[in-house]
Structure 1
Amino acid sequence: MKNTPVTIKDIARSLNISISTVSRALRGMPEIHPDTRQAVTKLAEELDYQPNQLAKNLAKSRTRTIGVIVPNLSYYFFSAMLNSIEESALQAGYSVLVCQTNESYLREITNIQNLMRSQVEGFIISLSRDTDNYEHVERLARKNIPLVLIDRYAETIDASKVIVDNKLAAFKATEHLIENGCRRIGFLAGPTQLLLSNQRVAGYREALANHGLGVGDQYVVHCDYTQENTIMQTLTLMSLPQPPDGVVMISDRVAYPAMYAMSQKGLRIPQDVAVVSFNNEPVSAFFSPALSSVSQPIQEMGTEAVRLLLKQLDSTSDTPVPKETKIMDTQLIVRASSFRSPAH
């Protein structure tokens, strides 16, 4: 059965006081005795009471609006994904409200609160870079509020997900560098708390192990996605006593400033260091040298996220819709930045 949202009436009944007293206590009105206010606040917290409960709003009316939260729309990956989300939602008769976290955990919490006040009927969320506590999203899942996580997710959140096999994709990208003659391969990763990045590092390490190539931990460096930090970490990596002759990048957005830093250091790509990345942004084909990159089905991921959300929104059953995880295929697009003779 669907969880029934806790109401002021439930709290009043449990404490044997009036609904108006509970309401005033929750608003901190001075005429309420401190002991009563404390008892109300304590029980409200224990019962996970939410004053603007989304399910309560939906009982009154349908807004046919979906809330979408992404790290940043300046990222090609998320702007392209949003196009397909909006198109799919529109075809189903829904509109979309979009919020950006700018990679901030606190802003992510605020975005959810604001969208709930706007009475969206469900959420599609890609977690921020800084998010390492998932209570605000887990609460949506516990309340059976329609929810789909896309691309960036957490394994502990019980929700439908649309993702790619990051470990396998990184394995193939690393193996491609090995097949093209690289023997000291580095990885320019994202923040340490980002699951997506850690999965790709795991795939990279597995590929090295499978080919009998052991490299030290110093060959894996982490950046925060900013250009300045990426350049600094790249220079750190390429200044090792035995610098890598190949590097896997966490994303194209990181690869561009990283390749710039390499060129400023006098390194030739791919002759001195081969590079492969993720996301296959359109500009990658026109970069010099053209960037090898893992292509993800961005449009299809957005469409699939809406499909999974609609299954929850349109359900008339009292039984929650089973959670689904859709793993999409990736493809390594090989270009000049990584292609060289194994005899190199």
Structure 2
Amino acid sequence: MKITPVTIKDIARSLNISISTVSRALRGLPEIHPDTRNAVIRLAEELDYQPNQLAKNLAKSRTRTIGVIVPNLSYYFFSAMLNSIEEAALQAGYSVLVCQTNESYLREITSIQNLLRSQVEGFIISLSRDTDNYEHVERLARKNIPLVLFDRYAESIDASKVIVDNKAAAFKATEHLIENGCQRIGFLAGPAQLLLSNQRVEGYRDALTKHNLLVENQYVLHCDYTQEDTIMQTLALMSLPRPPDGVVMISDRVAFPSIYAMKQKGLRIPEDVAVVSFNNDPVSAFFSPALTSISQPIQEMGIETVRLLLKQVDATDSPVPRETKVMETQLIVRASSLRAVSTI
């Protein structure tokens, strides 16, 4: 892939000063006049100059290294995705450098900068919970740096994506609860700014509408994925005057503490409240009761992200067109959602 990076020579030409002056200014050497140094730094920022940026690396050498940025490796989905990505990369002759943001927007920016300095040949990224400004990722796309987003993404970012149909999956989960006799179904969603969460809420609402059930905002509460907030929102949901008799959870790691809170409140699962979740964490099968969950094809998703990325890395002429790969999900039915439904 041919990328024309901004060089020290470009900055020197624009400011009509020598290349050595620009170099010394960027290194903060004291012999450069403050006004000159400030002018160099301002222009370097405007032009997005990076001394070891990926574009230079791609033009001159190959590191055969991929940068992967995930929200948190303690989440089953992301650790499993990383395993799949790394295996696919190794089979293609690439190694992987991994950064986790711990759901921090600022750490996401820093991770990209660090990986650029490490001269990775492309990025595979899942956005953090707190990211609501995408300029740092959009800049990668604008510079035609190989980039694939997975799971958590933003529609405004012009990049290839590997995702599931979250709306259809949530519709499937909600309809399953309806078919098992639930009439007042709640949704414990993720952060309000998270596109993935909003897509699942939309699918949930569509299922209620299809089956002529009321769509009530009071039954949709958002949590930040922490156990403390999950328990607080669960108790708020179950303390409504007419609490839900079924709940769709944004993920298994939210479902586990949520079900704990329900049990502490004296509720029986699924007799009083039926539960369906997402991600099919292996623990789900051994939880009490075993948790019904939407399974995502994690191994296939990891392979596809690497395939799409290396397709860009290996391009020698014009940039590769962006692709969005939407993977199918499967509802794994277990005890947490199976209620006795009257046939009378």
Q: TM-score scaled to structure 2, two decimals?
A: 0.96
Kindly provide the CA deviation profile for residues 20-41 of structure 1, in whole angstroms up to 9, marking residues without a partner as x: 1122223333433333333323
Q: 1:156-195 to 2 correspondence within 5 Å?
A: 156-195=156-195
CA distance in 2, matches of 1:157, 1:221: 27
Identify the residue that residue 227 of structure 1 maps to in structure 2: 227
| Residues in 1 aligned to 2:101 and 2:279: alpha-carbon distance in whole angstroms | 20
2:278 match: 278
Q: Aligned partner of 1:137: which letter?
A: V
Q: Name the SS for the 1:337 alignment partner.
A: helix
Q: Does 1:214 align with 2:214?
A: yes
**For 1:187, what is the secondary structure of its paired residue?**
strand
Do 2:162 and 2:304's aligned partners in 1 also have CA atoms closer than 8 Å? Answer: yes
Tell me what 2:310 maps to. 310
Report the CA distance between 1:3 and its aligned residue. Answer: 4.6
Aligned to 2:153: 153
**1:303-329, CA deviations, whole angstroms, 9 ceiling, x for partnerless residues?**
000000110111122x00111000000
Q: For structure 1, list consecutive stretches of 5 or more residues without a partner in the other structure.
A: none
- CA deviations over 1:63-116 (Å, ceiling 9, x no partner): 101111111111111111111111111111001111111111111111111111
Determine helix, strand or coil for the equivalent of 1:188: strand
Instruction: Measure, in 2, the Cα distance between the counterparts of 1:133 and 1:307.
Output: 27
Cα offset, 1:229, TM superposition = 1.2
Structure 2: state its 5+ residue gaps.
Answer: none
Q: CA deviation at 1:292?
A: 0.6
Q: Which amino acid aligns with 1:330?
A: T
- Are the equivalent residues in 2 in contact too, given 1:184–1:215 (CA < 8 A)? no
Percent identity over the alignment is 86
- What corresponds to 2:330 in structure 1? 331
Matched residue type, 1:23: S
Give me the whole-angstrom Cα distance separating, in 2, the residues matched to 1:72 and 1:197. 17
Task: Encode CA deviations 1:165-192: one digit per residue, 9 max, x unaligned.
Answer: 1011001111111111111110001111
Q: Any idea what the Cα deviations from partners look like across 1:238-257, whole Å, max 9, x if unmatched?
A: 00010000000000010011
Alignment match, 1:80: 80
Letter in 2 for 1:325: T
Matched, 1:322 2:321: yes
Instruction: Provide the C-alpha distance between the structure 1 equivalents of 2:340 and 2:198, rounded to a whole number of angstroms.
Output: 30
> Relative to structure 2, which stretch is displaced further, 34-43 or 236-245?
34-43
TM alignment of 1:1-344, pairs within 5 A: 2-317=2-317, 319-343=318-342
Cα distance in 2 between the residues matched to 1:340 and 1:303: 37
- State whether residues 150 and 162 of structure 2, in contact with CA within 8 Å, keep that contact through their aligned partners in structure 1: yes
Q: Distance in 1 between matches of 2:77 and 2:43?
A: 43
How many angstroms apart in 2 are the aligned matches of 1:149 and 1:343?
Answer: 45
- CA RMSD, Structure 1 to Structure 2 (Å): 1.5
Partners of 2:2 and 2:59 within 8 A in 1: no
Q: Counterparts of 2:160 and 2:106 in 1: how far apart (Å)? A: 23
Whole-angstrom distance in 1 between the partners of 2:252 and 2:118: 35
Cα distance per residue 1:107-165 (max 9 Å; x no partner): 11111111111111111111111111111111111111111101111111111100001
Q: Work out the CA distance in 1 between the residues paired with 2:86 and 2:39.
A: 45
CA distance in 2, matches of 1:322, 1:68: 21
Mapped partners of 2:178, 2:132: distance in 1: 33
Q: State the alpha-carbon separation in 1 of the partners of residues 139 and 289 from structure 2.
A: 46
Q: Does the aligned pair in 2 maintain the 1:161–1:326 contact within 8 Å?
A: yes
SS of the equivalent of 2:335 reads: coil
TM-score (norm 1): 0.96
Rounded to whole Å, the distance in 2 between the matches of 1:157 and 1:250 is: 23
Contact 2:3 / 2:59 at 8 angstroms: preserved in 1? no
Aligned residues: 343
Q: Distance in 1 between matches of 2:5 and 2:241?
A: 60
